[in-house]
Each structure stands twice: as structure tokens, then as C-alpha cells.
Structure 1
Amino acid sequence: MTIENQSDLDGILRAGRIVAKVRDAMLAAVEPGMTTVELDEIGGKLLEHFGARSAPRIAYGFPGHTCISVNEEAAHGVPGARVIEAGDIVNVDVSAEFAGYFADTGGTVVVPPAAKSNSLLCHATKLALDAALADARAGAAINQLGRVIERVARSHGFKVLRNLAGHGIGRKLHEEPEGIVSYCNHSDRRRLRLGQVIAVEPFLSTHCTQVNEAADGWTLIGHPHNRTAQFEHTVIITHGEPIIATRSEAVG
């Protein structure tokens, strides 16, 4: 969507504050011995507390409040009986609807003791998101975001997942522009517009450039030894720095 008035701006910011709060609480709660469904229940209770609705659940019938992906799972992991163990890399992706507006965010943590490669992977993915957002302004080429994400990934010895992407958001979970990929798609001539609301989410990985759907019909998995990190913000495009709706410090 494109922000058209103060109500739109306030709506996106309110939804963004909620998913940021839930994301941060879930990431802080990750510990060895808990199951992914127990972690998801934390997110579900918080969404209910804030009066928000799980976006993947209402949009697609997803069997969880949030997506939780562990180790070889890159994205869209279904919460269940899987036990989180020491050394695991855990991604939490939270999206929700509140008062007619949607926001989407995500983050990745490593359960101590952290392998150096996993810690570096998370660090590099955060840097890639920051670099992409630095170029996310009105008039900028959408493929420039992918160009800088891939540059950061390569400089740290990682790959990018080419079949996962960011997207427009606002009145629905997924809107135009779809396909904000983590590499430079030279055929993509689109440019960002003033007031546009987008979710930017780089996926950096250790081995794979593609992921495939698991037997559950939801979870996306790469090579068994592949590890992936994802960080995501919902932002509003301006002529300068974007307004980040899902910043941690924006949560009251």
C-alpha cells in the first residue's frame, strides 16, 4: 500500500509496534528444552493481548501464530514438538493484522553455545538489512536493495536464498511490489515510490541458494547442513531514510 493520510501512517506504526514487541519477546524467550509450539504460544498470547491477529493464520490458514524455523529450516517453519537445543539457530517471523493494517518482522538468534559461523551469519544478515534500508528511498531501484544485500553476504562468505523475497504490505500481508529479492535482478526495472510500505527481509545462508517445501506443505528447507538467518523490518518509504515501523525501541 501507499500511505495516503495520517490514519494510514498511524495504522502501520501501531501494527509495527505490536509485531516488534512480540518478535522481541519470543527471541528473548528462546532456550534449550522448549518446543517450538511452546515458543509460538508466547507469541500467540501476546498477539491476543494486543488485540492483533496472526497474519499467516488469517491469510493462509497457517497452523501456528508465528513461523519458527530451526537449523536446516529456512522459513515458514510450523510450530510443533521440535525441541530447541543448545547451539541451534532459531528464526522467528511475526506478522499480524491490527485495525485493518498489517506489519511483518523477523529475527534470528543462536542458542548458546553459539558456533562462530552461526554468530557471524546472524551478524552479516543484520548488516545486510541495514545496508538495504540505507538505500530504500523514493526513486531508488528495487533491485538495488538486492544488490547491496548480496554484496554484504559475499563479503562475509555467505550466499543468499534466491527464491525467498520481501514484499509490499499494508492492507494485506502480501501486496505489490512482490519479489524484493536478496540479489540484483537486472530485469527488475521497478522503483520505490514515496509512501510505499514494504517488508525487507534478507535471507543469508551457509550453503544453499534455493530452498524447497517440506512434507508438511509449509516449511522451507535447504541442504540438511545449511543454516539460514533472516532479519526483517516493515518500512515506509520517504525521500530520505525510511520510517522503520518495527524497530525495537519504537515499542512502548
Structure 2
Amino acid sequence: MVGAGAATLQPRLISSFVGNCRSSQSTQPLHKLFRYNPGQKHVLMRQSRPLTGITNFLFNKSRNTDELLNSNRKPLKPGKLSPRRPVPDHILKPPYVASKKAPGIATGAEVHDEKGIECMRASGKLAAQVLQYAGTLVKPGVTTDAIDQEVHQMIIDNGAYPSPLGYGGFPKSVCTSVNECICHGIPDSRELEDGDIINIDVTVYLNGYHGDTSATFFCGDVDEEAKKLVQVTKESLDKAISICAPGVEFNKIGKIINAHADKHRYGVVEQFVGHGVGRLFHSDPVILHYRNNERGRMMLNQTFTIEPMLTMGSIHPIMWNDDWTVVTEDGSLSAQFEHTLLITENGAEILTQC
């Protein structure tokens, strides 16, 4: 493990599925999650429960506590997991599937030649199509495991590998994060209920390249407070994408997202980040979704994700005993949207749209 003692270090970020490493490998299981420290190079640290070293933003001062928690909504509980789904031998698998070592985070940006760009467009398009289909499955009474089954089948039917499957021990092919789940929800036997919101996070590995995207969907009759949170989260991503171009500082992403969230009195989760994506699932740069002064500029033909997570209340994450599922401390709703982008001469091309 690389890093410093938890008693003295106050890390600010946890990478969201931190990626495959071309240089050094960590012996720490990936599902313990990584933290990133500004000013240090990808510090790895074991997390406790609840997560420590985080700004304790329990409630936005402008909101009333009663507005944050819907008393009619039952808290999430783990369901039953089905067996791991098989992938045909002929499908190309990312290196971390066969490796016994937990992948670390890759240093170096994903910058592509013409062939690489076409591969990224193909993987991004497939990811978008899978996500679009997954969204049509969101209905009361449908289990998140059933969504995983359909996503898994569609991905392998198209000759691709579901990137999350086996990544650091993750047991399923997609992440399904319901209501107060911030990210990394594991599909299980829980049935979706009328009024739920659910983020579905799809990543495919096609011809050696990853395409990564997510969206938050409505299940049945969703209340106006939840709809507004989802709408503002999507708007924050769109605003961030609009300023991307060669030479633009990455910290402008966090500033514009944070400003839009502030306007609507929502919290921005600081511990999970966007990332470079391409031949590797996760690599530099680390994309912060809140105000920051980190250095780094976008490069022509570079690919990375932006994936803001906004909450109605606490931005303090709590991890379940499965070492993946992360929920808001106060049970308030969380929403997320994500796209994979290609930096072009004219700005940014969204690779993960149909």
C-alpha cells in the first residue's frame, strides 16, 4: 500500500473505480477503494466505515431537514446476489480480469491517434446504446439483478466485455445505485419501487477500449423534489462539457458544477471523481467536480469522463459491508450523470451518446 498513516493524513477524494495500472501495482484489494490526495500522486488508503477525513457537510444550511428525507421511502437494504454471469471465451477481456493483483491507477493521459479515436467512438456508442436500453427496463417490480442480466447479455451479444465484472472483485456487470446510493450499487434481488430514482452506470470494453457512461432514471411516479435533483445534476454535467476544449484547465469543470449546484442548494460529492478512460478503465487525469485549484489542462485527442454526483442533503458517504455500495450519511437522495468525452479542435465530442 502506498500512502501515509490515517491518523495524520486527511485525504479529500476517493476515486470512482480507480483503474488499471501500467506501472506499479497495489497489493491492497481494489474494493477497499482508493483515495486521491491533491499534492500527492495517487495515494492509496484503506477506508473505515464511516469514511473519515471528509468535509462533514451534513445539511445545506438553506434547506430544512424535513425537506431532505422522505418518510415514505424505505432505507435501502442489501438484497440477495445471483451467481456471477459467464462471458464467452472468444470475447476480449481487459487485463485485470485474469490478473490476481488488484489494479492500481494508471499514470499518463489517454491521448489517441486516428485509429484509437475510432475505437473510442465505437466503445462509447455501444455503452450509450446499452445504457439507453437499460433505462427502458426501469419499472416498479423489476429487480436490479434483472437489469444486470439484460445489460450483461446485450454487451456480450455485441462482442464486448462488461468492464465492471471482476474489476477489483466487483461481482456484477453494471452498477445500479438507487435513491440514497451515491455510486457502486451492486445489482441484487431488490425490486424497484414506484417513486425510486436509479443511476445505471455502464462501461463496455470493446476491441481493447473502454466506453463509460451513466444516467439517473425515474421509476414510476417520482416526486418533484427528486425530479429537480436529477434535472440539475444533468444540467451540471452539460455545463461542464460546454467549457471543455484544448488548453482549458481541468479545475474549471469543478467550478462550473459547484456553482450550478449552489444555485439550487444541492451538495456536490467530493470523494468520487471523473477520470481518464480509453485503453485503460481508469487513468489520469483525476476530474474533480467541486471548486479546486488543481493544475492540468485538456489536450487534443484526450479522452476522460465527467460524472458529477449531487445530493439533496449530506455529501458524507457511508460504505456498506460489501465494500462497494456507498450511500449518503443522512439517507438523502443522490443523482449522477456521466459521459466519456473526446477533446477536439472545436471543443469536446460526447462519445457516449446514441
Report if TM-score (shorter chain) is over 0.5: yes
* Pair 1:232-2:314 in alignment: no
Letter in 2 for 1:116: E
Letter in 2 for 1:214: W
Measure the CA separation in 2 of the matches of 1:127 and 1:83.
Answer: 29
Measure the CA separation in 1 of the matches of 2:280 and 2:112.
Answer: 16
Measure the CA separation in 2 of the matches of 1:62 and 1:142.
Answer: 29
From the superposition, tell whether residues 110 and 70 of structure 1 become closer, same or farther in structure 2 (CA, over 3 Å).
same
| Deviating more after overlay: 11-20 vs 1-10 | 1-10
Secondary structure at the residue paired with 1:191? coil
Contact in 2 for aligned 1:196/1:236 (Cα 8 Å): yes
Aligned match for 2:171, one of 63, 74, 94: 63
Measure the CA separation in 2 of the matches of 1:76 and 1:30.
Answer: 17
Task: State the match for 1:25 in structure 2.
Answer: 133
| Shift in Å, 1:154 | 1.2
| Shift in Å, 1:241 | 2.3
Identity of aligned residues (%): 32
Measure the CA separation in 1 of the matches of 2:305 and 2:285.
Answer: 10
* Pair 1:213-2:319 in alignment: yes
Task: State the match for 2:190 in structure 1.
Answer: 82
| Shift in Å, 1:3 | 3.7
- Runs of 5+ unmatched residues, structure 1: none
Letter in 2 for 1:119: K
Task: State the match for 1:127 in structure 2.
Answer: 235
Deviations 1:40-74 (A, max 9, x none): 11111110111111112243231111000111211
- Runs of 5+ unmatched residues, structure 2: 1-108
Measure the CA separation in 2 of the matches of 1:232 and 1:81.
Answer: 25
Task: State the match for 1:194 in structure 2.
Answer: 300
Task: State the match for 1:53 in structure 2.
Answer: 161
Task: State the match for 2:212 in structure 1.
Answer: 104
Measure the CA separation in 2 of the matches of 1:58 and 1:17.
Answer: 23
Secondary structure at the residue paired with 1:237? strand
Measure the CA separation in 2 of the matches of 1:79 and 1:103.
Answer: 20
Letter in 2 for 1:217: D
Task: State the match for 2:248 in structure 1.
Answer: 140
Contact in 1 for aligned 2:313/2:330 (Cα 8 Å): no
Measure the CA separation in 2 of the matches of 1:33 and 1:152.
Answer: 34
| Shift in Å, 1:177 | 0.6
* Pair 1:172-2:275 in alignment: no
Instruction: Please identify which structure carries the higher helix content.
Output: 1
Deviations 1:79-118 (A, max 9, x none): 1011100000111000111110011000001212111111
Which one has the largest radius of gyration?
Answer: 2
Letter in 1 for 2:311: S
Contact in 2 for aligned 1:141/1:189 (Cα 8 Å): yes
Measure the CA separation in 2 of the matches of 1:113 and 1:58.
Answer: 35
Secondary structure at the residue paired with 2:304? strand
Contact in 1 for aligned 2:110/2:277 (Cα 8 Å): no
Measure the CA separation in 2 of the matches of 1:212 and 1:138.
Answer: 37
Measure the CA separation in 1 of the matches of 2:334 and 2:130.
Answer: 21
Task: State the match for 1:222 in structure 2.
Answer: 328
Letter in 1 for 2:189: A
Secondary structure at the residue paired with 2:347? coil
Contact in 1 for aligned 2:110/2:304 (Cα 8 Å): no
Contact in 1 for aligned 2:246/2:347 (Cα 8 Å): no
Contact in 1 for aligned 2:124/2:351 (Cα 8 Å): yes
Q: CA RMSD in A?
A: 1.2
| Shift in Å, 1:224 | 4.4
